[in-house]
Amino acid sequence: MSHLEITESPELKAEIVRQIAQQGAISFARYMELCLYHQQYGYYTSTRNRIGKQGDFFTSSSVHSLFGRLIARQIGQLWQLMGEGPFTLVEQGAGEGYLCLDLLDALAEEFPELYAQLDYRIIEVSSDHRGKQRQRLAVHVAAGRVSWWTFSDLEPFAGCFLSNELVDAFPVHLVEKKNNELQEVMVTCTGADFAEELGPLTDQRLNDYFELSQQPLVEGNRAEVNLAALDWIRQVGRLLQRGAVLTIDYGYPAAELLAPWRRAGTLLCYHRHQSSDNPYQHIGCQDITAHINFSLLEMIGGEQGLETLYFGEQYRFLMGLGFLEELIRLQALETDPQKAQALRMTLKNLIMPEGGMGESFKVLLQGKGLGSPDLLCARPIREIGLPPGAF
């Protein structure tokens, strides 16, 4: 780390302290919203390297272009299932544009007819990221394929709504069960530092959340409640006329996310590739995330006509789409054994459960008006035919 590196935003800290002095303790969700999305000083809104080696964390799309290439195959199949007409692909939270670039490159090569009819719409809250996306995607912008939208301007569409690591970045409420009662974690100040205190719930929906999840919180336990995710899937479900919602993120079904043994929830912060559970340090200079409740995305999506067509670990999803075959192909193209080894190590990150993105990352594919198709991503691992001596 360079000694000149800024590891905290004093302006943002002062602004949060000012708001607490004015209104009293604020909910953790409000605190997280300010830390990540304050218009001027928020982690995602300020100018900073966030994703990749020079940043705070890797995302699958920043690891290797194969991630986007494989997803392109699934998008291509969805387009075929929908009759091969004009197709809108909305990506929300596109980061630095890696996934969009890899998808568009792959679609242009493997599905040129789809590419020619594709309307790729990016919804991105960070102006810093929008700038990076415009640069990275210049070729596809010039080809008239990409445009930028706000969520509220989006009109009902047919196609696919895609996100990778978006929902885990929505501000969450923190709730604890104390004396047999649900209480909310509020953020206040003690001297120059932030501190937590428990108070009554600021939103009745926090109570409903545990009932909906059919998983009561156990005495003494803490959990995050991502109300924004529930509103989001409801709105996405309403906007999608026909097609699919493809959500990739870390998370679990409700029973696993809110299991009694998970005493302190799943809140995690990332700063310069170090993770911690302390959201009160590196203010404005660290990402704050919480695992998502996939059962509720399925349930609330269901109310809007979204049917679950696929739910599984990222490694299974990628294997179904041809990860191993592609790994073998790419390795064979590499004549330098050291580079072949480096490629294997890089790609392993996408599927490894321990310390990689293979298992804690899940993929949910919800469809509307598609029936029950045999999706490429659902190809069972036993059907993968590898050449003898492939490894």
Binding site for ligand SAM (CB under 6 A): 44, 51, 59, 61-62, 92-95, 98-99, 123-126, 129, 164-166, 169
Residue with tokens 């899940």: 362
Residues in the chain: 391
Pairing state of beta strands 157-164 and 87-92?
parallel
Q: By C-beta, is 119 or 196 nearer to ligand SAM?
A: 119
What is the nearest approach in angstroms of ligand SAM to the Cβ of residue 209?
19
Please check whether residue 296 is in contact with residue 230, taking contact to mean a CB–CB distance below 8 angstroms: yes
Query: Which residues are registered as beta bridge partners of 364?
Result: 247, 311
Residue with tokens 């002062």: 14
What is the nearest approach in angstroms of ligand SAM to the Cβ of residue 272?
15
Q: By C-beta, is 41 or 98 nearer to ligand SAM?
A: 98
What is the nearest approach in angstroms of ligand SAM to the Cβ of residue 64?
12
Please check whether residue 62 is in contact with residue 51, taking contact to mean a CB–CB distance below 8 angstroms: yes
263-267, long-range: CB < 8 A, 24+ apart: 263/220, 263/221, 263/222, 264/221, 264/222, 265/174, 265/221, 265/222, 265/223, 265/224, 265/290, 266/224, 266/290, 266/291, 267/172, 267/174, 267/224
Q: By C-beta, is 176 or 249 nearer to ligand SAM?
A: 249
What is the nearest approach in angstroms of ligand SAM to the Cβ of residue 182?
26
What is the nearest approach in angstroms of ligand SAM to the Cβ of residue 12?
16
Tokens of 391: 């490894």
What is the nearest approach in angstroms of ligand SAM to the Cβ of residue 43?
9
What is the nearest approach in angstroms of ligand SAM to the Cβ of residue 133?
9
Q: Where are the alpha helices (DSSP H) in 1-97?
A: 10-23, 28-37, 60-63, 66-81
Please check whether residue 182 is in contact with residue 175, taking contact to mean a CB–CB distance below 8 angstroms: yes
Residue with tokens 């340090």: 281
| 389 backbone dihedrals φ, ψ, rounded to 5° | 70, 25
Q: By C-beta, is 42 or 159 nearer to ligand SAM?
A: 42
Q: By C-beta, is 36 or 182 nearer to ligand SAM?
A: 36
Q: By C-beta, is 166 or 327 nearer to ligand SAM?
A: 166
Q: By C-beta, is 37 or 280 nearer to ligand SAM?
A: 37
